[in-house]
Every structure is written in structure tokens, then in C-alpha cells.
Structure 1
Amino acid sequence: KMASTYESFNLRTTPEKFYIEPCDDGSEDVLAIDRVSTEMTLTVRRDIPASAENRTVCGLMGTIRLVAGMYLVVITKKKKVGDLLGHAVWKALDFEILSYKKTILHLTDNQMQDNKTFLSMINNVLHTDGFYFATDYDLTHTLQRLANTSPEFQEMSLLERADQRFVWNGHLLREFIAQPEVCLHEFITMKSSCINGKVFEWSIISRRSCFRAGVRYYVRGIDSEGHAANYVETEQIVQYSCAKASFVQTRGSIPFYWSQRPNLKYKPKPQISKTVNHLDGFQRHFDSQVILYGRQVILNLINQKGSEKPLELTFDKMVTSLGNGLIKYIAFDFHKECSRMRWHRLQILVDMVAEMQDEFGYFLVDADGKVLLNQDGTFRSNCMDCLDRTNVIQSLLARRSLQSQLRKMGVLHMGQQIEEQADFEKMYKNAWADNADACAKQYAGTGALKTDFTRTGKRTHLGLLMDGWNSMIRYYKNNFCDGFRQDSIDLFLGNYAVDESDWNTPLRDPKDWKFLTLPIIMVVAFSMCIICLLMAGKTKLLSALPCKVRRGPRLWPMFCSGEQPAWSRRRSRTECVCVESS
């Protein structure tokens, strides 16, 4: 197999073959791809025809079959994010999808249109921000997992030893004989910081699972294997003077069978399935979590009233029914506790779990490479989307762990608080807010909500306005765009595969305009509302005196013109009591 440490390749193209050679004069290995038979073979540089066209690519994503045949997906632009333990980490910025076929004239008009649609779907996924890779380091595993592996594991290729939960181009690699890039769909930030004159590296890596992947509302709950929707493993890493430490948390959809399909309502009512055995999938989910991470503390941040209440009650009941002493359940009504801008009350939850966090600890290796501490438990946080509320709580718990780590490493003096280090605190808050935005864009289509608190430590009125704007964008995308995004993800991950039986069946009748009905209705309704507002005349309401309408013992604020309104006279139990204007 070709080595995996090359940082760029020459893509040499002839009408018959693609030749991929590393931009390294010392290597003779060349991957040859036959554009007719699709066969891949390893050859040497001298076999490349002199007439071959040449271009440089940054990496190989793999291959995928569409209606027109096979396509090669390459990375054409990248930027360096930073170095993790001495290994370069890259972010893929642009891609190209290259057809094996020299022409698509063999397709019918419908097939051409379908092929064009499939290409746009693949491009939609590729250009959803967040593909990262490293050519000589395994980004799919935490520091602790890598430290507890065998020599045989270390000798495997990156693809063979990767945690398959986080390999987003796994379907594209199924026929590859060479070692391409193992790409993760995630968020990575790496910062160099200085406290007390001591320089250290600080990073966040959020790995998004490709199992039960999808978009908000279309993918909720778990599947039969126990994989949760929008599952993300977030690792915070510190490197100082050859010592390194990490703290891992997870997030994921409420792990039983429920749905919340878009129906034009702002907040569709969640539906808990009544036809399946929830406990089987629930147990599979937490069995795997305990094996991977040790003890589990569930932080359920959803509302404990209204439409979210049945989910909270069912979650609590499931944990009780499971009876696993390694799993602890904590319900914290985030919106109720923090209502009326009382965001300081989040400290209640942090204090509540402080003792458990100290018991879990974190992973720590000294400058000599000796493992001093292992993390033996993980917080599994969730709200409805596992985005906004979840990220706020995770950033608070990560800060508490980081403070302990920096003291242990000798960066912070005893008694010093991270919050007192103004420059680092600003960087820390912005990085966690960027993490929230990245996860939210991949799942919900917009930046995260509540990031003003994450960035500044305060909830602001501007932040509320921005949340309102993002909520409107989410509403539109969730109802009118996310079906295409979900199909695109399923195609990219191989949940749906194009085969010959599909070639004669068009994706849709081009004369069928039914799919435009809802957007047209929304546009007309919105236009009518604007017209009504612009053309509304002045009414008595504008000059009315405030009054109160008595219904039983409670006073309800209303308006009248000084006399009992006609509508209230028709209701015998309604009394209008006018008061003077203030």
C-alpha cells in the first residue's frame, strides 16, 4: 500500500487512467486507476505517460458511484490548523469530484439530470464546513485510548485502526487499495497560550459520529444498534513542556426511540414511539458508552414541563429500569433555572457534579511519557438538539478540569483561577463558542444560540436578538431545505447507494411542482402580513386608555376607550374596569 504520510500529490491524467504520485522525489509508488474498468493497481513513476496532464492535489477522499459511473473525490485546498503532539493537522477547504468517464452522452436526459442532482448532493456535504485530517496521526482516538494500545495497533494503517464512528469518508474508501486521508467531520481549534510566563498549547477536538448522522428534526433518538443522533465526542487537550493532559465529554440525542418531524410549526411536538422496545436500544447505547468511557453521568438539560416533559420522564424511567450502578441520571431544567437572565444559576449544576468530576479525573502524562492519571468516567450531556444548552454546560465543566490540569502541570499557581487570566479567558470562551457554532451549523444549519454567554460570560439583549434571527433561519431551513441535506448525508455515507436499478427511474418528475407548494404558501402568507401592516389605518386602539378586564380573581391587561366594550357586554362574567392613564 502507498504510505499515508504524504502531504500533497501529483494527479496525472490521461484518457485511460488517473495516476496519483506523492510529491516526494524519494518515492517510486504510484497509484493507477483505470477509468474504464475502475481497477486500481500500484505501479511506478516510469509507467506514467509523458503526455499525462498534471495538477497538484492536497489529499484523496476516495471514490463514489453515481449514475454516470465512478467518480474520484480529491482535496484541492487545505490550511494548517496547528500541530498536535508534533503532527500537522489540516482542514480541507475545497474539493473536486472527477468523473472516470470522459463523457456522459451515454445517459438519457433524465439520467443526466439525476446525475447532476447526485453531484450537487455530494458537493453539499463536502462544503459543509468541518472536514479535518492528519497524514501521520490518528485524530479519531482520544489521547487516553491511544496510550492504551498494543504495538500491533500502532503498526496498523490509519484507516485500519481508526475509530469507525468518526471516519466520515469511510464509504468512499471501501474500494481504495492505497492509503487515502481519513477525514473527520468535526471542529478543531489549537491555540498557543501563556500564563505566568509559561507557554502551553491548548486544543479542542469535537468528533462528530457518522453513525445515525443527519440534520435536526429528521434524525432524533437512537437506531437499533444504539447509535444516538448528533453524537459528538469532545476532547480538550493541554500540552506543556512534553507533558500532556486531556478531558473528554460526550453529547448525543436522548437515547431511545422518538421523533420530531418538521410540520411547519415553530416547535413540532416530540413523539415517543409506542411500537418498539425502548430498553433494548437504550441498553446497547449505554453498554457501549461504559465500555468506551467508563462510568456515565447523564446531564439532561431539557424542560421539565410542556412538550419536553414526557421525554424527561421517559429518560428517568429508562435509567431506573436499567438499574446499572455505573450510570447516574441528573435532570436540570436549564431554561427554568436560567430564566430572566439568571445565568449565574448554572453554577448550581457545576457544584452539584463537582465531586463526581473529581472522581472521574482526567488523563495526564508527565514529561517522561509516564501515565499519571486516567479518566474513568464521562459526562454525557444533552438538551433537545444537543447544541446550545449542551455546549454551555460542557464549556463550564471543561474549564473546571482545565484549571486542575494547569495547576498539576505547574502553569497555574495554587489559588489562581483561570477566570483571572484575562487574555486566556477571552480566548477560551471564544474557542468554545466557535465549537458551538461549528456543531450547530453541521446539524441545524445555523450558528449556535446562547453563544453570547459562552463568549462573554453574560447573557445580553443583543445575544437574544441574534438567537431570534438564528431561530428564524433554522425554522426555514428545517422545513424547506433539510430534506435535501439529509438525503445528501445519506448518499455520502453510503446509507443510500446508487446502483443500476436506479438508472431508469428518475428522482422526480420534472413536471411535478408539488414540492414547491409549501414554500409558495409561506411566501404568500408572509407577503400578506407585510401588506396588512403597511396598509393598516389608525384605530381607536392607538389612543385607548389602559384598562383591566376582570375574569375571576385575576386582572388581565386590556384596552378600552373609556366604556365597556361591546364584546365584553356579550360575556356576562366579564367585567371591564377602566383606570386612568398613567
Structure 2
Amino acid sequence: MGSETMRKLVDVLVLHKFMLYRTLTNFYLIGRDKKKTFWRILKIDRTDPNELNLFEDPTRYTHEQIVELKKWISRGNQEYGGLRAETTCYGIIGFVKFLGPYYVLVIKKRKKVGEICGHTVYGVVDSQMIMIPYHSGETRVAGSAAERRYKKLLNMVDPSKNFYFSYTYHLMYSLQKNICNTERGNIHDETMFVWNEYLTHGIRRILQNTVWTVSLVYGFFQQTKCLVSNEEFILTVIARRSRHYAGTSLEVSVVKSLIPFSPQRVYHSLPGKMNQTVEKFVAL
């Protein structure tokens, strides 16, 4: 029963890879599922520098349909340069606004760091911040000394160090919580261990889903194969830092919060070693 529940943690569509295209007036984020069976489109308006305007196309496109749609968009914007590829990414970290325009933060590169009960866990390798509006006035503000200072402060947090996520497993919860939890929706991204909760608040409020975003957990993740009494198993150690007390001192954070830094160990057998997968959990 536990294993079956774990396989159904996420019962909504999951997009694994994205291509960001731009025209003069819009960004088009095209995402696909892991098996390349369908594609979805998110349109980001570039004409309003003060508001975050998003439109999610509910249609699930085939590959042939998405190719034709891109041609149609390019022809419609031919006078202004057509449809141009901006970047490839693996999910939206969030949107941020300082003194001028909105920026979108995306994951540029990822790496597989482990797997929990069939759910792949990734680490962030590289990220990118992209300015959304095209107005020259907003471009001047974006280049101001104050704006550069705020962007530099944000860039001090390096997502490529100790940030992890999974498309289908809720890393912000313990194993027991994931097995017993039946809640679905945005509530998972509002928990204390989701580092980018504030950055994704706007898009989650507008779209009422988390299809395009990833829930980043800041902490530690490592898996090691172990052998005890001729039985092989994988030891998984996960530690998560709370966004409520994200200071530089771990000891201070632990004192100030109820569970600000939540370590856990997950033990599970290697596939094929036992007739039935046995999963144990010990919370520290």
C-alpha cells in the first residue's frame, strides 16, 4: 500500500523540459512531459512593465501541432523579428521585481542526484535571470546602480549549491507525510521548507497550479549503497533548512524555530534484492 501511494504522489500533469521563445510583445514558454507525449504553452506579456500578466493555454498539443503553432506565431510577428528562441530550461524558480521591471528566474541546468521510491531527485547546476519587459524606459531602470545592487544581492544566493527539487516527490515533507498525505494543489508550496515560496507566489496565485514551477529545497541530499548481513540497501539522508530562519548560523536557526532544519534518513532495498520493497523511515 505504501509503495502504491508513493507512486501516486503527484496526480496532475508534470512538465519536465521547457523552451522559452520571445517576440516583441510576449514570451512563450513551451513545456513538455518526460515521454514527449504532449506540450503546453504559457504566455508571458512583455508590454506592461508594472504587472505580471500570464496566460496559460489549457490545450495539450502534439509535437506536430506545436511546430505549426510556432510557425503561426512567427509569421504573425514577422514585422518585429518573428519568434526567436531565448533559452532552454527545466522549470521556473519564480518571478521577482525590484525597482523596475519583472524578471523570471529559471533553471538552466540540472543533474540527477538520487531517487526515492521511483521518484527522481535533481540538484540545480545553473540558473538564469531574464528581464521580461522590452520597454526602453524599463531597460534604463534595469541598468541603474540601485537595480544592479539589488540583483547582486539576489545573486549572492547561488542555486547551484545545495538546492534540490523533484517533479513528482514532495521533498519538503517527510516520508511518512508523503505516504499519508492526500492533499493536492498549491498548499505544498506554502510550507516552511520551500525556499522559493515567495518567488512563485505570483504565478501560483494567477494560474492556481504549480505546473510551471519547481519547489526548491535548500539543504543536503545524499544517497549511499550499504551492505548489512548480506542485504543491500540505499541509505538516503535529507536535511532541509527553513525559509523562515534562513540565517548563516545553523545552531541559531535550530533554536529559533520549531523544526527549522529537518534531517531524515530513508532506507529502502535495492530493486530485485527482495520480493517486496521494504521502506523504513527514521526521523531525527
TM-score (norm. length: structure 1)? 0.38
Question: Aligned runs of 1:222-233 on 2, under 5 Å?
Answer: 228=257, 231-233=260-262
Identity %: 20
1:175 aligns with 2:202: yes
2:104 alignment partner in structure 1: 72
Q: C-alpha displacement at 1:117, in angstroms? A: 1.1
Question: Aligned runs of 1:341-352 on 2, under 5 Å?
Answer: none
Distance change (3 Å), C-alpha of 1:86 and 1:108: closer
Distance change (3 Å), C-alpha of 1:73 and 1:244: same
SS at match of 2:232: strand
Q: C-alpha displacement at 1:62, in angstroms? A: 1.2
1:197 alignment partner in structure 2: 230
2:283 alignment partner in structure 1: 248
Residue deviations 1:325-345 (CA, integer Å, cap 9, x gap): xxxxxxxxxxxxxxxxxxxxx
Distance change (3 Å), C-alpha of 1:130 and 1:191: same
Distance change (3 Å), C-alpha of 1:106 and 1:172: closer
Q: C-alpha displacement at 1:125, in angstroms? A: 1.1
2:245 alignment partner in structure 1: 212
Q: C-alpha displacement at 1:96, in angstroms? A: 0.3
Residue of structure 2 aligned with 1:92, choices 97, 113, 124:
124
Contact 1:104 1:112 in 2 (8 A): no
Residue deviations 1:201-228 (CA, integer Å, cap 9, x gap): 11000011001222239x9479xxx952
Q: C-alpha displacement at 1:35, in angstroms? A: 1.4
The runs of 5 or more residues in structure 2 that have no matched partner are 1-11, 60-65, 75-81
Q: C-alpha displacement at 1:105, in angstroms? A: 4.6
Residue deviations 1:351-410 (CA, integer Å, cap 9, x gap): xxxxxxxxxxxxxxxxxxxxxxxxxxxxxxxxxxxxxxxxxxxxxxxxxxxxxxxxxxxx
User: What root-mean-square deviation, in Å, do the aligned CA atoms of Structure 1 and Structure 2 show?
Assistant: 2.8
Contact 1:59 1:181 in 2 (8 A): yes
1:52 aligns with 2:83: yes
Structure whose alpha-carbon radius of gyration is higher: 1
Q: C-alpha displacement at 1:192, in angstroms? A: 2.3
Aligned length in residues: 238
Q: C-alpha displacement at 1:166, in angstroms? A: 0.4
Residue deviations 1:147-176 (CA, integer Å, cap 9, x gap): 3334xx1xx13x423461101110111111
1:32 aligns with 2:43: yes
**Distance (Å, rounded) in 1 between the aligned partners of 2:111 and 2:179:** 28
1:147 aligns with 2:161: no
Contact 1:185 1:207 in 2 (8 A): yes
Distance change (3 Å), C-alpha of 1:47 and 1:238: same
SS at match of 1:171: coil
Q: C-alpha displacement at 1:141, in angstroms? A: 0.7
Question: Aligned runs of 1:42-441 on 2, under 5 Å?
Answer: 42-43=56-57, 45=66, 47-48=69-70, 49-50=73-74, 51-54=82-85, 55-102=87-134, 105-106=137-138, 112-127=144-159, 129-150=161-182, 153=183, 156-157=184-185, 159-162=186-189, 164-176=191-203, 177=207, 178-179=209-210, 180-216=213-249, 220=252, 228=257, 231-240=260-269, 241=274, 242-249=277-284
**Distance (Å, rounded) in 2 between the aligned partners of 1:146 and 1:206:** 16
Residue of structure 1 aligned with 2:27, choices 18, 35, 47:
18
More helix by share: 1
1:452 alignment partner in structure 2: none
- Which structure has more relative contact order (CA 8 Å, sep 6+)? It is 2
**Distance (Å, rounded) in 2 between the aligned partners of 1:128 and 1:92:** 5
2:4 alignment partner in structure 1: none
Distance change (3 Å), C-alpha of 1:238 and 1:228: same
Residue deviations 1:500-552 (CA, integer Å, cap 9, x gap): xxxxxxxxxxxxxxxxxxxxxxxxxxxxxxxxxxxxxxxxxxxxxxxxxxxxx
**Distance (Å, rounded) in 2 between the aligned partners of 1:214 and 1:104:** 37
SS at match of 2:195: coil
**Distance (Å, rounded) in 2 between the aligned partners of 1:60 and 1:41:** 15
Contact 1:62 1:73 in 2 (8 A): yes
Distance change (3 Å), C-alpha of 1:86 and 1:116: same
Contact 1:68 1:104 in 2 (8 A): no
Distance change (3 Å), C-alpha of 1:53 and 1:107: closer
Contact 1:213 1:230 in 2 (8 A): no
Residue of structure 2 aligned with 1:41, choices 42, 55, 61:
55
Residue deviations 1:127-155 (CA, integer Å, cap 9, x gap): 471110000111111011223334xx1xx
SS at match of 1:213: coil
SS at match of 1:166: coil
More strand by share: 2
**Distance (Å, rounded) in 2 between the aligned partners of 1:230 and 1:118:** 30
Dislocated runs of 4+, deviation >6 Å: 107-111
2:14 alignment partner in structure 1: 5
Q: C-alpha displacement at 1:27, in angstroms? A: 1.9
**Distance (Å, rounded) in 2 between the aligned partners of 1:110 and 1:133:** 30
